[in-house]
Structure 1
């Protein structure tokens, strides 16, 4: 908005381009009529936005009889889409140029980092993971490891840093709307390493920072079990619990980015900490006074095979997680709560016990599911976040092929 609150022509061009690209990302081919129906734009606005996107190389027009993907970026001459050309038969068809540029999504944990490269449809075309030498390595070394993972993912994708239009990195710490890490806990400070500045200096990239649970919520709503759900909570539940909250289709951040932080679980009766499912499965299955000797997935497998001790752990976990979900349901009243993270593949065995117990703790019982995205949930959300940025700024970005 300008100072008077009215939308300027330039702002409307950006909004229209964003709407058109978002729709074209989700479909193989679209006619002008399809774009009008999907975006609510008038025919004149569709003509104008297609003209602009064609000229800039974001989309191509398919010749009659050609299949999607058969034209290269910019193959239609600018100006060839004339007023009235969306009428008649055959209808003109348009497609996104998915490899006109790329985005990078990064999941940065305490021990490892994973980077993925995606085209403009969100298809993953490269992936790489790297481990940090220790949790206490200097910021410079942590940046180097992240950068190495990005380079390996780009190499697998068959592209270069120059083709990257935006990067989103997910951190296990609260991040405010301006991309600043909340520093009130020592653990969160480990993620304030100057990544945005470092990657901008090395590659010229635009780097966006976001909380990992928030990205998990975006990813789940985009390509998980929460597709189309406007009131959704995703709980990353493996080692420690943290939540991403979508309310009325909008991601919640809070004043300092800490919406969804679950430190309050220390005060919840029958819970007592934000320890996650994998951590507790290992600890509770171990002999009293002895360190854990098996991984969480082994405890879940033992329970499925009928081991009594493992089954008892599952009962304890179902009770505890039901209390956690109930606390979220009371505060946020979501339609659906998703358990995500590396433990998601195993928690299906917990769901019946959780669902059975929930009515004891809350009158607003949500639907509870396990994420199908596994440990890729954060990088999927990071890709979506980066694509949203690219589409919103399409008219400001120079595509690599045109640079």
Structure 2
């Protein structure tokens, strides 16, 4: 293992996080900057370069002390070319030559990948994946993303779309997805999907329910409100969580039957529901999984939270 340090960069639409780590993933310094998306995102890469150079100098280090930089980015990432396309939350409307620009500005090698893949690497390396060679990570946020690590290698597929777990079809006659298909997992298991399921079920529900009353009064709900209500025994909320868990368990069982990973790790904002969600997803996972998969693949909650991205990015630098 190298004695050189690693730099991880987790690029987000609001904040860009940085970390300097050892080669085995121990974080030694962390910081963050605001992501400036003005002027079609023209400031983002220069700001990253300036911040890295500033902190290398601040810590009295030099480029030779580092193995390289790893970076996770939204959008479609061409791993070989080091470019990013279609990162609309960054206001990047054209292809960005991120690798070439950052390498020129820092004199360090850069490896870049999609942010969901990078978070998967982080959870596998230093989180719930326990550095096992076969781990699947699914993140439940505004959308549903994922990453697949098989035999210790992150899978990309022929066009970089491996791990698009959010677009596994769980209901061919279900809700229309932003991708144009119907019944994708993202339509029912994302934060917005949970609310969509709750709204539909509330229309058909005639009993007493706090979330039904909230919706009938014209007020907004969130996935957190739904899960909190279910934990408190709200009968409608319990039904909503059961339906969401059914679809999520079905999708993850299909992934499990395809990959047979050691762990399927659930992360993202919706996973804050914790064991209450995990145990119900596991119930349906075991119902739909092939016998051998059921006995060897474990459904777990992520442990790194927001740190998964920056740690996974640092791990990229080792490649």
Please state if 1:372 is matched with 2:315: no
**What's 2:184 paired with?**
272
Structure 2 SS opposite 1:210: strand
Go from structure 1 to structure 2 and tell me whether the alpha carbon gap of 1:333 and 1:346 turns closer, same or farther (over 3 Å shift): same
Q: Which has the higher contact order (CA 8 A, sep 6+)?
A: 2
Go from structure 1 to structure 2 and tell me whether the alpha carbon gap of 1:291 and 1:380 turns closer, same or farther (over 3 Å shift): farther
Please state if 1:329 is matched with 2:256: yes
Please state if 1:287 is matched with 2:215: yes
Q: Quick check: 1:220–1:381 contact (8 Å CA) kept in 2?
A: yes
Consecutive unaligned residues of structure 2, counting only runs of 5 or more, are 175-182, 199-210
Q: How many residues align?
A: 288
Please state if 1:383 is matched with 2:317: no
Structure 1 SS opposite 2:311: helix
1:370 is displaced (CA, Å) by: 0.5
Q: Quick check: 1:340–1:371 contact (8 Å CA) kept in 2?
A: yes
1:141 is displaced (CA, Å) by: 2.1
**What's 1:198 paired with?**
101
Structure 2 SS opposite 1:138: helix
**What's 1:349 paired with?**
276
Structure with larger Rg: 1
Structure 2 SS opposite 1:243: strand
Go from structure 1 to structure 2 and tell me whether the alpha carbon gap of 1:268 and 1:145 turns closer, same or farther (over 3 Å shift): farther
Distance 1:185 1:224 in 2: 27
Q: Quick check: 1:115–1:153 contact (8 Å CA) kept in 2?
A: no
Residue of structure 2 aligned with 1:235, choices 118, 138, 162: 138
1:371 is displaced (CA, Å) by: 0.9
Residue of structure 2 aligned with 1:171, choices 58, 64, 73: 73
Q: Quick check: 1:181–1:191 contact (8 Å CA) kept in 2?
A: no
Go from structure 1 to structure 2 and tell me whether the alpha carbon gap of 1:279 and 1:105 turns closer, same or farther (over 3 Å shift): farther
Q: Quick check: 1:242–1:261 contact (8 Å CA) kept in 2?
A: yes
CA RMSD of aligned residues (A): 3.4
**What's 2:40 paired with?**
138
**What's 2:208 paired with?**
none
Q: Quick check: 1:340–1:377 contact (8 Å CA) kept in 2?
A: no
Distance 2:55 2:251 in 1: 36
Please report the TM-score for the alignment, with normalisation by the length of structure 2: 0.74
1:288 is displaced (CA, Å) by: 6.8
Q: Quick check: 2:77–2:85 contact (8 Å CA) kept in 1?
A: no
Consecutive unaligned residues of structure 1, counting only runs of 5 or more, are 1-20, 23-57, 59-100, 390-403
1:372 is displaced (CA, Å) by: 0.9
